[in-house]
Amino acid sequence: MTLRIQCPSCDRQFKVSEDLKGRTVECGACEHRFKLGEEVIVQKRDKFYPGERAKKGLERYGRAPSAGGGGGTGRFETAAYNQTSSPLDVIPMSPQEWFSTLMGGCILVMAILIFVWGTQPEGVLKDMEVGKRTVLAGFMVVVGGVLIAYGCRHRRKKGLLLGLPLSVGVIALSLLLPVPRTLIPVYGELDSDLGDDPKELPVVAKRKTAEEVRELIGYSPVERAIKSHEDDPGEAADYVSVIWAPIMEERYKFQLLRYLQRKTKSTERPIFYRRDEGGIFVIEGPKFSIEQIADIAERFSRVEEIYHEIRVIEVTLEPARMGDVTEDLLRELSDTTHPAFYARNQHELDHIDLDRVKEAVQRLAAVEPLRFRVEISRRMMGLLEEETDPELRADLCSALKVWAEEGDESDRVVVGVARRMQALEQTLPRSMVEFLVQRQSSEAVSLIEPLWVADPVSWESIIAEIGPAAEDAILSHLKGKERGLQQSAIRILKRIGGAKSLGPLRAALDNADDETKLLLKEVIESVEAGT
């Protein structure tokens, strides 16, 4: 059993064993020694009433006087508590919430600074229209607002007080601040009616005169080219055109020279003359109008001005149309599973570099036409009519076998190109002939027959694929004197011949050699069995 005792020196209380009663003990707090008697034992009753001293040492505390100066009845009221309070209102914010709130506020403040300083005369938002600025402001408000809403999700009022004024400020600045414009100075005399203050004058670009352009581009090479055509019919100046690019990188020179020669069908490549940061392309030979040359230039540039009197076209090159190859672009062009594969290769069909056009056509010929079928096939037909490169034409016909659809203009386009090539005594690509056979074109026989006559071995299988439509053309060569062509006709008739072929086949037996007779008999038996 234990006793609770109190040190008479420091009033600290302890629990000790009852066996120590009557013995001298030492206080563990102040080291005072005292005898453990009844006077230091703490009784179980520890309550006291006003005026009663229950413990030694209470005299150290003073009494507080009553409000009325004397005793009286006290007045008490029941405390009212807010029953809607939530523990989340007093729980401190987590580090993630602090960071989210701070980042959201910083984004909105940064947006305000961007609009304030960016709309200065030389700011980053120069020439940006109000609509585009509002879209930018809306994006930054959404991002900042989401971050603040997340950080203050348990303190919505504080989040609203922080985010709402900043968001309104960003939107207001994007709508109300002026749009700084790039000013184009005007050189020359001013209209006296407009006043002397330059700020009141309209800002317009002044067109350079022909003489100014002649001086800027150094016109002497052009004059020499014109002079060389004085003996040609018509005006000598009509044989020379100039494309002037005031700013142009050297790496584009040869690409543009090849393109201009290809498009103008000139026997000689245009000549390039360097002029300061740009240069001029002097095109001579074919008699093109200046508007036609401008149309050609628009494939790789923006036409700024045409000076008809000196046949000069001022352009601004657009590198985006030149399309420099990067690793990302190469991956998009080559990866058939990439979402941008078809769009990128469609864009390549308009490139001025013929090699890149060929590569795009070859890639498209090897895949299924899943996207942009109408647009890509139409562009392929346009290239087939525009370009004269034999390899490109062959690749285009191979691709059209995959991309062309029934009812489109592909048959007519291919037949037209084939006719022009034959008129120029050019060899038709095999893929062009295969396309016409595949589409069962009515013009296929007349186009392929001359090829087969010239080389029966190479074209025999192709003309046989036309079927009965080629029977009459083949029969006309049964009596030919050339043995190889005659035997090729007999073999073709074995595959496509009908009843009307039996008479000419039997008639050919009269003047045939032994080998040809054996072949004729075999074919006659095959045709008779088939009919």
Q: Mark whether 229 and 171 lie in a shared domain.
A: no
- Is 197 strand, coil or helix? coil
Q: Mark whether 257 and 172 lie in a shared domain.
A: no
Tell me the Ramachandran region of residue 274: left when phi exceeds 0, alpha when psi lies from -120 to 50, beta otherwise: beta
**pLDDT for res 80:** 60
Q: Mark whether 241 and 152 lie in a shared domain.
A: no
**Lowest-pLDDT range, 52-61, 224-233, 321-330, 407-416?**
52-61
Say yes or no to pLDDT of 45 above 70.
no
Quick one: average pLDDT of 174-193?
57
Q: Is residue 438 part of a domain?
A: no
The enclosing domain of 491 has a CATH number of 1.25.10
Q: Are 356 and 389 in contact (CB under 8 A)?
A: no
Residue range(s) defining the domain that contains residue 317: 210-321
* Domain-ending residue, one of 321, 352, 367: 321
> What value does the CA radius of gyration of the chain take, rounded to a whole number of Å?
50
**pLDDT for res 90:** 62
Say yes or no to pLDDT of 189 above 70.
no
Residue-wise pLDDT for 234-255, tens only, equals: 888 889 999 999 999 888 899 8
* Domain-ending residue, one of 275, 293, 321: 321
Q: Is residue 64 part of a domain?
A: no
| Residue environment code for 410-440, b if the CB has 16+ CB neighbours within 10 A, otherwise e | bbebbbebbeebeeeeeebbebbbbbbbebe
Q: Mark whether 44 and 132 lie in a shared domain.
A: no
Q: Count the neighbouring beta carbons within 10 Å of the beta carbon of residue 34.
A: 16
- Confidence category of residue 280, pLDDT binned at 50, 70, 90: very high
Q: Mark whether 131 and 228 lie in a shared domain.
A: no
Residue-wise pLDDT for 324-364, tens only, equals: 778 888 899 999 999 999 999 999 998 888 899 999 999 99
Using CA atoms in the order 109, 114, 120, 122, what is the torsion angle rounded to 10 degrees?
A: 150
**pLDDT for res 361:** 95
What's the DSSP call for residue 190?
A: P
Specify the long-range contacts of residues 405-414, CB closer than 8 Å, at least 24 apart: 405/373, 405/374, 405/377, 408/374, 408/377, 408/378, 408/381, 409/381, 410/377, 410/381, 410/435, 410/439, 411/436, 411/439, 411/441, 411/443, 413/381, 413/384, 413/385, 414/384, 414/441
List the structure tokens of 487.
């035997």
Domain count across the chain: 4
Q: Is residue 395 part of a domain?
A: no
Q: Mark whether 246 and 307 lie in a shared domain.
A: yes
- Confidence category of residue 48, pLDDT binned at 50, 70, 90: low
**pLDDT for res 31:** 85
Q: Mark whether 230 and 307 lie in a shared domain.
A: yes
Q: Mark whether 110 and 157 lie in a shared domain.
A: yes
Q: Mark whether 224 and 308 lie in a shared domain.
A: yes
Q: Is residue 508 part of a domain?
A: yes
Q: Is residue 519 part of a domain?
A: yes
- Mean pLDDT, the chain, as a whole number? 83
Residue-wise pLDDT for 493-509, tens only, equals: 988 888 888 988 888 88
Q: Mark whether 230 and 282 lie in a shared domain.
A: yes
Say yes or no to pLDDT of 72 above 70.
no
- Confidence category of residue 206, pLDDT binned at 50, 70, 90: low
Quick one: average pLDDT of 159-165?
87
Q: Are 215 and 285 in contact (CB under 8 A)?
A: no
Q: Mark whether 219 and 311 lie in a shared domain.
A: yes
pTM, rounded to two decimals: 0.54
Q: Is residue 405 part of a domain?
A: no
Burial (CB < 10 A; 0-12, 13-18, 19+), residue 134, is middle
Q: Are 260 and 270 in contact (CB under 8 A)?
A: yes
Name the strands in the sheet holding 312-317, side by side, starting at the edge strand that comes first in the sequence.
271-275, 278-284, 240-245, 312-317, 301-307
Quick one: average pLDDT of 364-381?
94
**pLDDT for res 349:** 92
Q: How far apart are CA 258 and CA 322, in angstroms?
A: 13
Q: Is residue 469 part of a domain?
A: yes
**pLDDT for res 38:** 84
Residue-wise pLDDT for 107-132, tens only, equals: 999 989 888 888 887 777 877 888 88
**Lowest-pLDDT range, 43-52, 404-413, 446-455?**
43-52
**pLDDT for res 40:** 86
Q: Mark whether 223 and 299 lie in a shared domain.
A: yes
**Lowest-pLDDT range, 177-186, 271-280, 388-397?**
177-186
Please name the helix (run of DSSP H) or strand (run of DSSP E) that holds residue 395, with its range, or none: helix 390-403
* Domain-ending residue, one of 266, 299, 321: 321
Quick one: average pLDDT of 36-57?
64
Say yes or no to pLDDT of 195 above 50.
no
**pLDDT for res 418:** 94
- Confidence category of residue 223, pLDDT binned at 50, 70, 90: very high
Q: Is residue 205 part of a domain?
A: no
